[in-house]
């Protein structure tokens, strides 16, 4: 299982913050593709920066079972 | 409860407490930045704001900002607290404190910290305007994530 976290506009679009995907040994791009296929409302996920296990990651980064992939929309703290 | 130097909390922020984390006998300056909730933005009235965060990663990124500052100003001490949840007008959203031996470095480092928060720390603000709501992104009004992500220069 891969744990996915969605925030802000993405959380609203999917209607949830946490999603578990039955996937293993894939890339961030594969996870993103699967999410858009299952949740058409997540088109804007392309604007978000992925993070794997709490560190920003590129689309080709490997993701294994047990990892957490978060999608970080443009931030607005401060 | 001891406050951590880099914290995300849903409780009201105490400026004095954040300052106390950077007090140092060798500091000649403590610079603070206090970010507060503004009522009017480009003619629109805010009723209240809601901040959300990816807490564990946000705390790591605040600590990274502290590390970036101390790699440039080795004698600096840094503390940053950011609040989440519902905030009203004039409430404090963020407190940054930086102490350094001399004042110029503390001004510069404090400014750096707030600009950097707006680039890399996973915290989001939802505006509850008089006439609706909106998640705010890209508030530095630069192209936030060209190609859908912060440039590598934002990640180092």
Averaged confidence pLDDT in chain B = 90
Task: Find the domain containing B12 and state its range.
Answer: 6-38+55-123
Query: A8, B58: Cβ pair inside 8 Å?
Result: no
Q: Does A36 touch chain B (CB under 8 A)?
A: no
CA B3 centroid distance within chain? 16
* Rg of chain A (C-alpha set): 11
* A74: pLDDT strictly greater than 80: yes
Indicate the residue of B56, B124, B150 with minimum beta-carbon distance to A54.
Answer: B56
Q: What is the CATH number of the domain that holds A54?
A: 3.10.20.30
Q: Measured between alpha carbons, how far is B75 from B30 in angstroms, rounded to an integer? A: 12
Grade residue B2 by pLDDT with cuts at 50, 70 and 90.
low
Query: And the tokens for B95?
Result: 């407190």
Q: Is residue B47 part of a domain?
A: no
Query: Is A14 in CB contact (< 8 Å) with chain B?
Result: no
- Asked if B148 lies within 8 A of A46 by C-beta distance, the reply is yes
The total domain count for chain A is 1
With respect to residue A78, please indicate whether it lies within any of the assigned structural domains: no
Q: How many domains does chain B have?
A: 1
> Which CATH number belongs to the domain containing residue B67 in this structure?
3.90.1170.40
Region B122-128 average pLDDT = 96
Whole-prediction pTM value?
A: 0.91
Question: Has residue B139 been placed in a domain?
Answer: no
Domain region containing A22 = 2-72
Contact list in B for residue A5 (CB cut-off 8 A) is 54
Residues B117-134: what's their mean pLDDT? 94
Chain A residues whose beta carbon lies within 8 Å of the beta carbon of residue B132 = none
Answer whether residue B135 is part of any domain.
no
Nearest to B53 by CA among B85, B88, B95: B85
């Amino acid at each position: 299982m891969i744990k996915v976290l969605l925030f802000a506009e993405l959380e609203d679009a999917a209607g949830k913050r946490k999603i578990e995907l039955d996937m293993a040994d894939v890339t961030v791009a594969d996870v993103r593709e699967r999410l858009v296929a299952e949740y058409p409302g997540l088109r804007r996920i392309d604007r978000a920066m992925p993070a794997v296990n709490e560190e920003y990651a590129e689309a080709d980064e490997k993701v294994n079972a047990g990892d957490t992939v978060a999608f970080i929309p443009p931030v607005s703290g401060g | 409860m001891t406050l951590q130097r880099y914290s995300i909390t849903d409780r009201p922020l105490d400026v004095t407490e954040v300052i106390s984390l950077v007090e140092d006998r060798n500091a000649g300056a403590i610079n603070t930045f206090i970010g507060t909730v503004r009522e009017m933005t480009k003619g629109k009235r805010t009723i209240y704001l809601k901040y959300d965060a990816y807490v564990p990663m946000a705390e790591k990124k605040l600590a990274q900002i502290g590390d970036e500052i101390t790699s440039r100003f080795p004698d600096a001490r840094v503390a940053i607290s950011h609040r989440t949840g519902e905030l009203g007008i004039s409430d404090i959203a963020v407190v940054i404190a930086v102490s350094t031996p001399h004042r110029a470095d503390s001004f510069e480092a404090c400014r750096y910290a707030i600009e950097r928060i707006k680039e890399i720390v996973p915290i989001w603000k939802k505006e509850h305007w008089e006439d609706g709501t909106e998640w705010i992104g890209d508030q530095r009004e630069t192209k936030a994530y060209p190609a859908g992500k912060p440039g590598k220069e934002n990640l180092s």
